[in-house]
Amino acid sequence: TRTPVNVTVTGAAGQIGYALLFRIASGQLLGADVPVSLRLLEIPQGLKAAEGTAMELDDCAFPLLKGIDITDDPNKAFDGANVALLVGARPRTKGMERGDLLEANGGIFKPQGKAINDHAADDIKVLVVGNPANTNALIARAAAPDVPAGRFTAMTRLDHNRALTQLAQKTGAAVSDIKRLTIWGNHSATQYPDIFHAEIAGKNAAETVGDETWLAETFIPTVAKRGAAIIEARGASSAASAANAAIDHVHTWVNGTAEGDWTSMGVVSDGSYGVAEGLISSFPVTTKDGAYEIVQGLDINEFSRTRIDASVKELEEERDAVRALGLI
Ligand code: NAX
């Protein structure tokens, strides 16, 4: 029998956590033949609710679920972790400046990065979901000098999936017919969903749409502002779709992208496409055997260049702000 894979989830008592844990325990994160052991990290006020969720996990009698540990100590939560989903974060509250937000999240992601550095398994893979996701990943990564930088990733898969459906609905295609779509930059309103290299049933997507006004005035803002639209409609932020994207992100990282396709992940930049080295920015990536590579050699047109640069500039500003705060 296989040794269980240790999966740590922070913010386990939150709404994404509630939508995520049952899917991990049922085998959708790593595969239907991979046993998992869950480590739930919460702040003290969240522990009781996390225990309630753990009771429900028990009540599912998932054959793959080999154990659940609940703690408010990051050193315990990340001990031997193979996969870490960093979901818990400090949300922006009314009147909060960006500097306050970054500082509050630094207080979460710096110690978690250090705990990962000191206690996680050698093959640790980290996905940061909690916002501001790219910069929180940068903070955690900086606190973990002994872990290869590439193991820290940020989630833009929800944006990617949102873009797939918007494009499918516009063209009448099936989502499964769309390949090579890319989210570039920051998981924020400046992100750039790029369809110039995308294909719909083998044909170029931008040419198939043939409408740059729709692209600029409908598609891009709809994808970029979808989170706000969900809050407006649901009275709460995206939860099940965010959990679904986290499952997709890790599943793709571990199991690989399909031949001829790629996905979008926030990963540490090696300078590709003029994105400053070291930033955690979304790129087109292929994955294989648990490793990923940034897709190289794409032609970036003027329309795309302006938008990628704007989002990367925002990431640079966030990096400079957390550097000034001594967080990286
Ligand atoms: P909730 O407020 O429902 O849950 C957050 C949970 O994190 C709470 O239970 C809280 O007690 C816990 N927490 C806070 N600090 C912690 C710490 N230091 N250690 C462990 N747990 C801690 O938020 P939820 O709706 O679940 O969203 C979680 C995060 O995901 C937010 O930052 C949100 O902005 C972000 N999102 C990111 C998305 C993405 O695409 N990257 C999309 C969805 C979502 O907006």
Give Cα 6 to chain centroid, integer Å. 19
Annotation says 249 is catalytic: no
265 lines ligand 1 (CB under 6 A): no
Q: What are phi and psi of 68, to 5 degrees?
A: -135, 120
Burial of 76 (0-12, 13-18, 19+ CB in 10 A): middle
Q: Which of 286, 260, 285, 284 is nearest to 202 (CA)?
A: 260
Predicted local distance difference test score (pLDDT) of residue 98: 85
- 180 labelled binding-site residue: no
- In this structure, are residues 178 and 167 in contact, taking their beta carbons and an 8 Å threshold? yes
Burial of 88 (0-12, 13-18, 19+ CB in 10 A): buried
- pLDDT digit string, tens, across residues 180-191: 999 999 999 999
Q: Which residues contact 53 (CB under 8 A, 6 or more apart)?
A: 12, 13, 17, 18, 21, 40
104 lines ligand 1 (CB under 6 A): no
Predicted local distance difference test score (pLDDT) of residue 95: 85
Predicted local distance difference test score (pLDDT) of residue 254: 97
Burial of 26 (0-12, 13-18, 19+ CB in 10 A): middle
Predicted local distance difference test score (pLDDT) of residue 92: 85
CA–CA dist 168, 205 (Å, integer): 10
- 209 labelled binding-site residue: no
Average pLDDT, the chain: 97
State the first-to-last Cα distance of the chain, in angstroms, to the nearest integer: 41
Ligand 1 mean position to 15 CA, how many Å? Answer: 8
Token pair for 191: 């992100």
Average pLDDT over residues 133-159: 98
Asked whether the predicted pLDDT for residue 97 surpasses 90, the reply is: no
Q: Which residues contact 112 (CB under 8 A, 6 or more apart)?
A: 10, 41, 74, 78, 86, 140, 143
- 12 labelled binding-site residue: yes
Question: What three-state secondary structure class fits 6?
Answer: strand
Q: Which of 119, 160, 187, 249 is flagged as catalytic?
A: 187
Average pLDDT over residues 166-180: 98
The model scores a pTM over 0.90: yes
The percentage of residues in the chain with a pLDDT greater than 70, rounded to a whole number, is: 100
91 lines ligand 1 (CB under 6 A): yes
Predicted local distance difference test score (pLDDT) of residue 241: 98
- pLDDT digit string, tens, across residues 26-41: 999 999 999 999 999 9
**Which position has the token pair 């918007």?**
166
Model ipTM? 0.98
- pLDDT digit string, tens, across residues 268-287: 999 999 999 999 999 999 99
113 lines ligand 1 (CB under 6 A): no
Q: Closest residue (by CA) to atom 23 of ligand 1? A: 14
Q: Indicate the pLDDT class of residue 2, thresholds 50, 70 and 90.
A: confident
Q: Which helix (H) or strand (E) holds 153?
A: strand 152-154
Q: Which of 237, 247, 264 to mutate to test the pocket of ligand 1 (most atoms within 8 A of CB)?
A: 237
- Specify the ligand 1 atom closest to the Cα of 91: 32
Q: Which helix (H) or strand (E) holds 323?
A: helix 302-324
Q: Closest residue (by CA) to atom 35 of ligand 1? A: 130
246 lines ligand 1 (CB under 6 A): no
